[in-house]
Amino acid sequence: MRGARMLATLGPVADEVLVFSLPGLRPGDEAFSSVFGLPLDTPGVKLICREPHGDGGRSAFDHPLAVNFDETDALLVFDDVLVPWERVFIYNNVELANALYPRSNLRNHTAHQTSIRGLVKMQFAVGVAMAVADAVKIDGFLHIQQKLGECISNIELVKSAIVRAEVEHDKLQDGFVRANLSPLEALRGFLPFAYARAIEVLQVLGAGGLIMLPTAEDFGSEIAADVDRYYQGASGMRGLDRARLFKVAWDLAGDAFGTRQLQYERYYVGDPCASWPGRFLPTTAPSARN
């Protein structure tokens, strides 16, 4: 194998990689229709990683999310890699490669995981926004309540779609069940916008307070008393605690870690403008699927 593929989310620390394509291959694409799995230490396999947001030298106080939760993105390069036949599942077969994603139930399981992952990230972002609004006592204003209410409503919509996918599950011929795909596919289109809106609300509510934060060293210096006094929250929150909260908010909504997360959500399933008719939606009754 020769070429390169985009690989995100912890690829460099994985043991193996599974290479396959989403449906949409056409006759003539045989060279791109092979499916295989390989250990990442296979000769000729290379990973070109982006610069880490948490490089080991940053303060966990100043960058609480980047230091603890950064996921390394990378380009996966195959430099004339020999793939043993026992690790090849499909070879130069467009029809089988297109069928793998829907017929293996992979689309249902990944859509379910994607939706729950997106829900948790939204809940965290909205929870931070609510905490910020409470810390500076702006949560009593109607326009602030409207913004937070919009985000909370989006969370409830996501939760409802996940529950519907689970309750209205497909029953397969072999006795197994899988999540209903239709509501999960709706979330694939909805979550990138809903998450982006939650981050925007957090940025608006945090306002200038997000970009004038003291560092961890300030709280142990001769200006510590001033920092604690003038950075306290309107709710009576200590300056140290308000700084900690706003550091989380900035990491999530403004710094490199958070902007990477936002970009990841927007392009998690590829180019949102690209579509293949019938790529995901079921075309047969559940009882006829395998």
Domains of the chain: 3-100 (2.40.110.10), 105-288 (1.20.140.10)
What is the pLDDT, as a whole number, of residue 8? Answer: 63
What is the pLDDT, as a whole number, of residue 74? Answer: 92
What is the pLDDT, as a whole number, of residue 1? Answer: 93
What is the pLDDT, as a whole number, of residue 277? Answer: 37
Neighbours of 238 (CB within 10 A): 13
Q: What is the pLDDT of residues 38-70, one digit of tens each?
A: 999 999 999 999 998 877 888 999 999 999 999
What is the pLDDT, as a whole number, of residue 109? Answer: 93
The predicted model scores a pTM of 0.88
Q: What is the pLDDT of residues 217-263, one digit of tens each?
A: 999 999 999 999 999 988 889 999 999 999 999 999 999 999 999 99
What is the pLDDT, as a whole number, of residue 54? Answer: 78
Q: Please check whether residue 104 is in contact with residue 47, taking contact to mean a CB–CB distance below 8 angstroms.
A: no
* Residues in the chain, pLDDT under 70: 8, 272, 274-290
What is the pLDDT, as a whole number, of residue 184? Answer: 94
